[in-house]
Structures are given as C-alpha cells and as structure tokens.
Structure 1
Amino acid sequence: MGLETVVKDIMDTAEADVSKIKAETDSEVLQIIEEAKDNAKRILGESLAKAEDDIKKMRQQEISSANLEVKRTLLNARKEILEEVYNSAFGTVSSLSEAKNKELLSAIITKNEAQGKKIFSNAKSEKLVRELSSLEYAGNIDCAGGVIIENEEGNIRLDYTYDVILKSVNERSLKQTSDILFG
C-alpha cells in the first residue's frame, strides 16, 4: 500500500499542478483575449476617427473647390457683361449722330490743334474735320471716330480717336462700372 499511496500522492500533486497550470493558462489566455479586444477597439476607434477626419478634409476640399468654381464662373459672367457694356458703348460712340459727332470733334480740335501740324480722321468724318480744323489733313485712319493730331516732324501723335478715349475711360472707370452693375 505504501507504493500506491506514493503514486496516488504523486498523481494528486500532478493533477493539482496540471489544474493550477491550466487555470493560470486559462487566465493568461483570457487576459490576452481581453488585451486583444481592447487593442482592436482602440485601433477601430483610431481608424474611425481618422476616417471621419479624412471625410471632413475631403468635404472641406470639395466645398472649397465648388466655391472657387462658383467664384470663377461669377467672375467670367461679370467679365462678359462688362465686355457687353463696353461693346454697347463702343457701338453707341461709333454711330453718333452727325450733330453730336460735330460737337465732339469741334471740342477736341479746338482744344488740341495748336499742338500739331497734321490731322487724321476716319473717312466718314473727313469732310467735317477739314471744315473744323486749320491743320493739314493727312489722311484717313481706321477708327470709330475722333482725330489724331501729329506734329510737323511726325514723331509726336496725340490720339483723340473715340476708340482710344473710350478704352481709356473704360479702364479708369471699370471698378465704378462694376460696382454700379453688380453692387
């Protein structure tokens, strides 16, 4: 019986050790599983936060891009309207009545002919310019109206064509025109 008792004691001790090791292993496994779950939750949370942040950035970029496109379209539309206004004004100047054309040419010539020797105009205004000016008529130019006055040497030209005057006025008052049209 002594041997059976020793074997039984060894077996009991071995079973107790196995149970203890199994319990420790189960505890470690549970701890590892809990840590893995916590890590998974943390990684998932970080991934969701990053994804939300990326979505916010993308949304902001899309909004900014759309706003920029709207501004570009608006500016292009305004530019087209301003060009239409300029073209309309040019058309009006190009088709001035004979009386209004005579009034403008007379004012330009009276104020500036002392600075030159020769005068140019478009073919339509040639007869009128010859009547209004004491300068030598030097020929026709391609313009909507007005005159060019040149000195004797031909190295100084004063351009008082309606084209140049209108362009100058347009450039100087572009902001005012824009403010009037678009507020």
Structure 2
Amino acid sequence: MGLEIVVKDIMDAAQAEVARLNREADAEASLILNDARQNAKKIVGERLAKAEDDIRKMRQQETSSANLEVKRTLLNARKELLEDVYARAEKSIAAFSQEKNRELLKSIIEKNEASGKRIYSNAASEKLVRELTSLEYAGNIDCLGGVVIENEDGTVRLDYTYDVILRSVSEQLLKQTSDILFG
C-alpha cells in the first residue's frame, strides 16, 4: 500500500501542477486575448477615424465642385442674358426710324465733320448722309448705322458707327447693367 500512496501523492502533485499550469495558461491566454481585443479596437478606431476623415474630405470636395458648377452655370446664364440684351439693343438700333436716324446722323456729322475729308456710312443711310454733309462720300461700310469720318491722308478715322457706340457703352455700363439685371 505504501506504493499506492506514493503514486497517489505523485498523481495529486501532477494534477495540482497541471491545474496550476492550466490556470497560468488561461490567465496568459486571457491577457493575450485582452491585448488582441485592445489592439483590434485601436485598429478599428484608427481605420474608422481615417474613413470618416476621407468621407469628410470627399464631401468637402464634392460640395466645392458642386458650388463651382453652380457658379459656372449661373455665370453662363448671366452671360447669355447679357448677350441677349445686347442683341436686342442691336435690333432696336437697326430698327431706328428715318427721323431718329436723321437726328442722330445730323448730330454726329455736325460735331465731327470739321475733322475730316471723307465720310462712310451703310448703304441704307447713304442718301441721308450725302444730304447732311459737304464731305466727300467715300463709300459704304457694313454697320448698323452711323458714320466713319476720315481725314485727308486716311491716318485718322473717327468711327461713329452705331455698332462701335453700342459696344463702347455696353463695356462702360456692363457692371451697372449686370447690377440692374441680377441685383
């Protein structure tokens, strides 16, 4: 029986050692799992923060792009409207009555004929221009109306065509026109 007690004591000691090793292994495994969980949480948090930052940047880029596109569309619409107003002004000028055309041409010629030798106009106004001036009629030009007065050697040309006057007024008053139309 003495041997059985020794075997039992060895077995009890071995089981106690196994139990202790299992507890230590379980504790170490628990620590390793906790560390792994903490690392996983940290990695997930970092990736989530990066994803949120990427989303924020993308949203900001998309918003900026959309705002730029809206501004571009608005500017194009305004430009088209201003071009339409300009075209309507040209049509209104082209539709001047004979009397209105006579009045404007007379005023332009009286103020400027002393500066010139020759005068040009569009074909529709030729007869009227010849009546209103003593300058040499030099020919027809393609314009809405008005005249071009040239000095004797052709080095100075005073362009009083309605096209040039309209363009000049349009450029000078572009901001005011835009403010009126678009506030």
**Partner Cα distance (1:31, 1:116) in 2:** 104
Residue-by-residue CA offset, 1:68-113 (whole Å, 9 max, x unaligned) = 1111111111111100100000111111111111111111111111
The alignment of Structure 1 onto Structure 2 pairs a total of residues equal to 183
Is 1:129 the counterpart of 2:141? The answer is no
Task: Compute the displacement of 1:16 (Å).
Answer: 2.6
Task: Compute the displacement of 1:5 (Å).
Answer: 5.1
Match of 1:80 in 2: 80
**Partner Cα distance (1:163, 1:148) in 2:** 11
**Partner Cα distance (1:172, 1:128) in 2:** 30
Amino acid at match of 1:32: I
SS at the partner of 1:49? helix
Match of 1:36 in 2: 36
Match of 2:13 in 1: 13
Is 1:46 the counterpart of 2:54? The answer is no
Match of 1:68 in 2: 68
Is 1:164 the counterpart of 2:164? The answer is yes
Task: Compute the displacement of 1:152 (Å).
Answer: 0.7
Task: Compute the displacement of 1:52 (Å).
Answer: 2.0
Work out the percentage of aligned pairs sharing the same amino acid: 70
**Partner Cα distance (2:16, 2:112) in 1:** 123
Residue-by-residue CA offset, 1:107-149 (whole Å, 9 max, x unaligned) = 1111111111100000111111111111111011010000001
Question: What TM-score comes out, normalization by structure 1 length?
Answer: 0.92
Match of 1:95 in 2: 95
Question: What TM-score comes out, normalization by structure 2 length?
Answer: 0.92
Match of 2:138 in 1: 138
**Partner Cα distance (1:116, 1:12) in 2:** 132
Q: Unaligned regions of 5+ residues in structure 2, if any?
A: none
SS at the partner of 2:120? strand
Q: Unaligned regions of 5+ residues in structure 1, if any?
A: none
Tell me the C-alpha RMSD between the 2 structures: 1.6
